[in-house]
Amino acid sequence: MAILEVDSLRKEYGDFTAVDGSTFAVERGEVFGVVGPNGAGKTTTLKMLAGLIEPTGGTAVVAGHTPGDPAMQRRLGFLPEESPLYEEMTANSYLEFFADLYDVPRDVARDRIERSLERLDLEHRDRRIGNMSKGMQRKVAIARALVNDPDVLIFDEPASGLDPLTTNYIIEFTRELSDEGKTIVFSAHNLFHVESVCDRIVIMNDGRIVARGTVEEIRDAHGGTEYHVYATADAGGDPVAGEPTVDADGDGAGAAGDGADVDGTGVATGDAGADASGGGEFRHVVADMDGVEAVREAVEREGGRVTDIQTKTPSLEEIFLEVAGEPAAARDDSATGPADENAEDTENAEDAADTENAAEART
Ligand SMILES: Nc1ncnc2c1ncn2[C@@H]1O[C@H](COP(=O)(O)OP(=O)(O)OP(=O)(O)O)[C@@H](O)[C@H]1O
């Protein structure tokens, strides 16, 4: 049963539409990712769910209540992108202060805070928050979101800008919270984290949801797995100029957008490799094993042989760049088919990818 339901949620700032009619539901115990490039509308969406900003249109129901309703606030934990912390306080005094605001009895609060900080592996709890590292401060902010033992947690970029160790800790912790039955909605740039922890995601761009589903479903809707069959004879493939046929790129990825010649018959329909007389090698891109078999038969009829077969699965990042790079007119909110190839406006998506690359580079 859905614990969080959003219907046609919308936020306008004057003439500008920050969130343009989002509809989704999150099941109890799910980790649900809201993904998108800078300015996509993620924070605005999460703040509306947390009752911090008023929607211009549409509805949201969180744990049976309208956002902003005090009854909902008791069941919700919100981690803002930038958590304002009281720098003069220690972690313990700060968290006890917030537990008081939620009327959590002192002894319950102490146990809860101790457990959260223990699980988050927060050291130096008596240090002034202002003197803590960024990662430690983030952990304190997460513990704050848990102080009222909420059913629903909304985390805005929980691990953004943190070192890999702290990031992994937070991602693992998020998974554990969901295993305990808490529902978590979180926004992220870093698609690796999304892929490792989210049950389902929506990808937003320019205020709209442009893809939705499990990572697998989104992959399938945007190309899915392809097979690259390398052979010494042409069966309707592309000539491979000087590329080794074995382990062509070694990474098993990178095929998104490269398989436009799959025509559903299993055999590629692209460049027929008219210069086959050179005795070169040919790559045939097909969608399934039947296609692989069809290529093998055709190649053998030509007197050639298959030298290598590679499976290519588009990474979430490649799909993200594809769907987040689409112009507004080409968007498909239902994510039921490959996106339009016309992808001129990739600046935002590239920013996001850069952010991710930078994060990966620190690993
Ligand atoms: N108070 C505001 N007034 C006017 N425009 C706003 C306001 N708040 C947000 N916006 C705009 O709404 C759009 C969506 O912003 P939002 O913060 O939700 O994006 P985001 O996806 O969270 O981006 P980021 O990853 O950079 O945090 C942006 O273009 C932003 O400039």
Residue 92: pLDDT over 60: yes
Average pLDDT over residues 90-105: 92
Across residues 243-267, what is the average pLDDT? Answer: 38
| pLDDT digits 0-9 by tens, 61-82 | 999 999 988 888 889 999 998 8
Write out residues with Cβ below 6 Å of ligand 1: 13, 16, 18, 36, 38-44
Say if the ipTM goes beyond 0.95: yes
- Per-residue 3-state assignment (H helix, E strand, C coil) for the chain: CEEEEEEEEEEEECCEEEEEEEEEEEECCCEEEEECCCCCCHHHHHHHHCCCCCCCEEEEEECCECCCCHHHHCCEEEECCCCCCCCCCEHHHHHHHHHHHCCCCHHHHHHHHHHHHHHCCCCCCCCEHHHCCHHHHHHHHHHHHCCCCCCEEEEECCCCCCCHHHHHHHHHHHHHHHHCCCEEEEEECCHHHHHHHCCEEEEEECCEEEEEECHHHHHHHCCCCEEEEEECCCCCCEEECCCCCCCCCCCCCCCCCCCCCCCCCCCCCCCCCCCHHHCCEEEEEECCHHHHHHHHHHHHHCCCCEEEEEEECCCHHHHHHHHHCCCHHHCCCCCCCCCCCCCCCCHHHHHHHHHHHHHHHCC
**Interval between CA 43 and ligand 1 midpoint (Å):** 7
Average pLDDT on 266-291 reads 64
> What's the 172 CA to ligand 1 centre distance in angstroms?
28
| Ligand 1 atom showing the smallest separation from residue 40 Cα | 21
Query: 326 pLDDT band (50/70/90 cuts)?
Result: low
Mean pLDDT of 330-340: 39
Q: How far is the CA of 39 from the centre of ligand 1 (A)?
A: 5
pLDDT digits (tens, 9 = 90+) for 99-157: 999 999 999 999 999 999 998 888 888 889 999 988 899 999 999 999 999 999 999 99
**Angstrom distance (rounded) from CA 295 to CA 267:** 6
- Cα(46) to ligand 1 centroid in Å equals 11
Give the per-residue pLDDT at 353.
Answer: 35
Rounded average pLDDT over 304-308: 93
* pLDDT value of position 245: 45
User: Closest ligand 1 atom to the C-alpha of 156?
Assistant: 22
Kindly state the percentage of the chain with pLDDT values over 90: 52
Q: Which domains does the chain have, with CATH numbers?
A: 2-222 (3.40.50.300), 225-245+279-312 (3.30.1490)
Rounded to an integer, what is the distance from CA 352 to the centroid of its chain? 11
- Best residue among 11, 15, 16 to mutate for probing ligand 1's pocket (most ligand atoms within 8 Å of CB) is 16
